[in-house]
Chain A
Amino acid sequence: MTQALDEIKIGGLGASRRRVEDNRFIRGKGNYIDDITLPGMLHMEILRSPVAHARIRAIDTSKAWNIPGVRLVLTGEMMATRNLAWMPTLSYDTQAVLATDKVRFQGQEVACVVADDPYVAKDACEAIVVDYEPLPVIVNPEQAMAPDAPLIRDDKENQVDNVAFHWQVGDKASTERAFAEADVVSRISMHYPRSHPSPIECCGSIADFDRATGKLTVYMTSQAPHIVRAAVAMVAELPEHMIRIISPDIGGGFGNKVPIYPGYVMSILASILTERPVKWIEDKTGNLISTGFGRDVYLDGELALRRDGRILAVRMHTTSDHGAFFGDAQPSKFKIGLMHSAFACYDVPHAHLTATGVYTNKAPGGVAYRCSFRVTEAMYFQERMIQAAADDLGMDQAEFRRVNLVRDEDFPHRTAFGFLTDSGQYGRCLDVALEAIGYADFRKQQEEAREQGRLLGLGISTMTEPLGAGNSREYDILGIKMFDSAELRVHLTGRAILRTGARTQGQGHETTWAQIVAHELGIPADDVVVEEGDTDTAPFGMGTYASRSTPVAGAAVSMAARKVRAKARKLAAHLLEVSEEDVEWELGRFYVRSAPDRGATIQECAMAAYANMPDGLEPGLEASAYYDPPNLTWPFACYVVTVEVDPETGVWDVLNVVGVDDCGVRINPMVVEGQIMGGLTEAYAMACVQFITFDAAGNCIGSNYLDYLLPTAWETPGFELHEVVTPCPHHPLGAKGVGECATVGGPAAFVNAVMDAIKPYGVRNVDMPLLPDRVYEAISQRHDVSGAPPVKVD
């Protein structure tokens, strides 16, 4: 008898295999956009608007042209002659590439210079003289919707106000009836502040147009290179087969590298005009003040409650600040993303959500930073509303959740907003988390501490979120359906190359995808190389964001491998001289059912595909699969945080953090835990310090790392992680999305903990980030603190 393969040893499903990409990253051998140098390459720098709202009277570029080494100066006027001054956004709006009429936010692109080196380009930018006529500035929705507000989007026909959209979902009438019958109505309003994904690598591109072949190659920091190719084909009217987008190693994306930015378009035009490769590398300030942000949503939320703790209905109104252009990246049908996934983990019979989106004089984006289309806001609002409602009812936080969570036996469960959740053990996750934090003991300690004037607090966040768009019936971007793809080619020695339409940017695809192949075929993961990001070689896919890669592209990898296995079975039958029906499969090997010792390994089948194929069978061993998921995946998470607040300064310290994640089957548990720790770090960041704000003049406060604070290893707490596994019923491996669970569910746990600590002061809400001065104000003045109004800097 041959020994069956040990799946963990070959790096298959469940193996905490070390990340293969780290071999190059930790040696400094990654190949990022700025590492690439092409012969004859020029450098582009962008001149940005110093003001938030102004009419452009004139732009004088003559001095810039006269600086030695300057090859090209582009303005909006010149872009307009080629119909490229404006471009479509991913949300059916338009966005200026270079301003022609007005600047609409501080940092907007006004001109660019292409020169022999980037220093000269920067000097030349400073030599451009722009005559601005200042206009009144709008920095929040209240100002945007004021009756006499100046019109920001006067470029758009029929736009009479600063409203980008009104949208609603749910059942208004039944929700109203439920509210009329409620014993208690719990209300809370809050703001989820604007933050920025701030990947360490900023955006950039190298456009290389070859006049001789007509081919445009663009190296670009993109999480979704195929969408970019399609968009460039449509916007620039270039033939799609003559466009090659290559996304090299990406130094972090978090949604920031999904949109198509003006800099990319300018570098493409500059290469066409100069017939030289043109490199644009964004600086940190440019990245922070002009590229896709996250959040900036206000909530008015209400829960209709029965005295015994049951939620009867939910009513939410969101007001979102999209900046100067509605440039969100989200499925076309849903104007405020998947905000209506709120309360999906609770059994809520009636729900109604209305949403208003407005334009302001702030950077566009709303790409929903590490978030599956606004679910971060949805789950934060949900869990803050849950905490306030439990307090209003005088109920224990854990008990109130337990009463309302969807029970295991109720799956599949249709949410009041219409989603179908299909699996989970919500109560068990909550139990595991409470046990780990020592819930009952902590409540006792909290009581004792209060008597000594010390403020301890405990916050819970429980949530499920929709990850892994499509299905294609409901989810598309600009009409392109949200499926994904994989192509697997097994070489004659049994080694293989796998390509997918996703694009890793830290998620570990090169490691994890190979493990899926190992699981399906028994080919050791080390024998599989994974390649992504080149549109000339990778199959069409929608890219990596919104925690969709494992649910969609990962499933496609399974399906492609299974097609290869089906063909290998024919080859095995030929090698074993039996009929296909008599061949059985075990990991890595086919064998004869009646004589298990007689077998052919997958490697022997691969060799046969090239060297010994049966008559009539097409040579080679490869397959591709396009996967359209039947539903989203619904992971569940419970995060519990304990804190101590210093009542004299408002400073708070994290005592413990427990995370329990049920993301279905874990392909690489180490990679999953890394994702959760990263997500919890970002959750902590949002809760304590990380936000972008604006003063009344529209100046961005957060334009560099002196003002935009990311927590470091010094203050980030440790995390205790646990798992519960409820396989996804429709994913081929039972896996669910996980990349964003902790960023989505985490912030509320931190905020709930601080609110719990200062509850004795009658404080119901302090908006994030919970900066010490805000917490102190809440404690000392015994009132809620809204972080929403623009800071007036004296």
Chain B
Amino acid sequence: MYPSRFRYEAPRELTEAIKLLHEGQGEAKVLAGGQSLVPLLKLRFAAPELLVDINNLPGLDYHRVEPDGTIRVGALCRHATLERSGSLAQRQPTMAAAAPLIADPLVRNRGTLVGSLCHADPQGDWAAAVTALDGRVVAAGPDGVREIPIRQFATGPFENALRYDEIALEAVIPAPKGTPAGGYLKLERRVGDFATAGVAVAVELSGGLVTRAGIALCGVGPSTIAALDAEQALAGQALTAAAIERAGDLAAQAAQPRRDHRGSVEYKRHVIRTFVVRILRDIAGAAERAA
């Protein structure tokens, strides 16, 4: 596998990286973990003229939970770090559930959450988790820094809202107002396979009611899908069996799967429904035990 010819730069300053991207006029790609980009280069599905390797940029390899509960994940924070993170395990159940299911251990050692969001693969796990959590992406460009809500970040399959001379620096997960609960389930044919269907659920509970619900689906549409009707139906409700079933039905309706070698439309919808119900039942069960 021999990629096409490309120029490679590894700047040490953010301003220089942005300058290089700007000069690249859309023919440059940012290299962080490289777990999606490098295979695309080798298959010659991608042939950028310039690779801007951001691994030498200082101060981007972090994740932290701020005192108010906001979570920030830097552009060079690897999946494996998040998988092993004690603070995520304690504070953010949806992300903690998703982290060990990202690809395989080799990919998790190199790949990054922010890179995964930028790649905007409709089957991406992190995009579903961050969408369920209503996160944001912080991007820097020649004109400064801006925040892009995750639900406006992916603009299509493998396309995102960044301008060609912007770099995504950070993903932000807003602080929960109630008690966060959630989960992530995906059906994969083998560890490391892309999701046949994946479901991320993030709810906030207060006084036995759901105060906020986020449900996002991957693998079943041209991009990550926020199951808006299911989210709305749960908001303000107790997690009764009927409410859970209803959320499952609505999420399955929100899915836009296509038939392929991973399964039929009906099957994928059925899996979405099953997973939504399973995660919500687990949450309800845990809440009941805690109460």
Contacts and interface: CB of A to CB of B under 8 A. Distances in A.
* A and B are partners in one complex rather than unrelated chains: yes
A122 B2 contact: yes
Interface string A267-290: 000000000000000011100000
A184 to B, nearest CB: 35
Contacts of B96: none
B236 to A, nearest CB: 28
B214 to A, nearest CB: 23
A793 B261 contact: yes
Interface string A689-712: 100010000000100101101111
A124 to B, nearest CB: 11
Given A123-B4, A709-B193, A714 B261 contact: no
Interface stretch (B11-19, B112-120, B204-212, B264-272): B264-272
Contacts of B261: 693, 701, 707, 791, 793
B270 A776 contact: yes
Contact of A648 (B5, B189, B191, B274): B274
Contacts of A477: none
A794 interface: yes
B263 A773 contact: yes
B289 interface: no
B187 interface: yes
Nearest to A650: B267
Q: Which 3 A-B pairs have the closest CB atoms?
A: A773-B263, A714-B191, A122-B2
Nearest to A702: B261
A688 B191 CA distance: 12
A773 B192 contact: no
Contacts of A688: 189-190
Interface in B51-102: none
Contacts of A693: 261
A688 B190 CA distance: 9
B37 to A, nearest CB: 14
Contacts of B246: none
B177 interface: no
Max chain B C-beta neighbours (<10 A), residue from A649, A650, A707? A649
Interface string B253-287: 00000111111100100110010000000000000
A776 B43 contact: no
Secondary structure type dominating chain B contacts: loop
Given A651-B187, A688-B190, A706-B194, 9 more contacts: A689-B189, A712-B104, A772-B187, A772-B196, A773-B262, A773-B267, A777-B264, A792-B259, A793-B261
Interface string A641-656: 0000000111100000
Nearest to A703: B43
30 contacts: A126-B44, A284-B1, A649-B187, A649-B271, A650-B267, A651-B187, A688-B190, A689-B189, A689-B190, A693-B261, A704-B43, A706-B194, A709-B189, A709-B193, A712-B104, A712-B190, A712-B192, A714-B192, A715-B191, A771-B189, A772-B196, A773-B196, A773-B263, A776-B267, A776-B270, A777-B267, A780-B270, A793-B261, A794-B259, A794-B260
Contacts of A771: 189, 262-263
Contact of B190 (A648, A709, A780): A709
A118 interface: yes
Interface string B115-156: 000000000000000000000000000000000000000000
A773 B189 CA distance: 10
Interface in A728-777: 771-773, 776-777
Contact of B189 (A119, A772, A791, A792): A772
Contacts of A706: 39, 194
Interface of A: 45, 118-119, 122-123, 126, 283-285, 648-651, 688-689, 693, 701, 704, 706-707, 709-712, 714-715, 771-773, 776-777, 780, 791-794
Given A648-B274, A771-B263, A283 B258 contact: no
Interface residues on B, range: 20 to 34
Interface string B153-168: 0000000000000000
Contact of B1 (A123, A283, A650, A772): A283
Contacts of B260: 791, 793-794
Interface in B1-37: 1-2, 4-5
Interface string B239-258: 00000000000000000001
A370 to B, nearest CB: 19
Nearest to B271: A649
Contacts of B104: 712, 714
Interface in B37-53: 39, 43-44
Contact of B263 (A283, A285, A648, A772): A772
Given A649-B274, A773-B267, A791-B260, A119 B193 contact: no
Contacts of A707: 261
A704 B5 CA distance: 22
Contacts of B4: 123
Contacts of B191: 712, 714-715
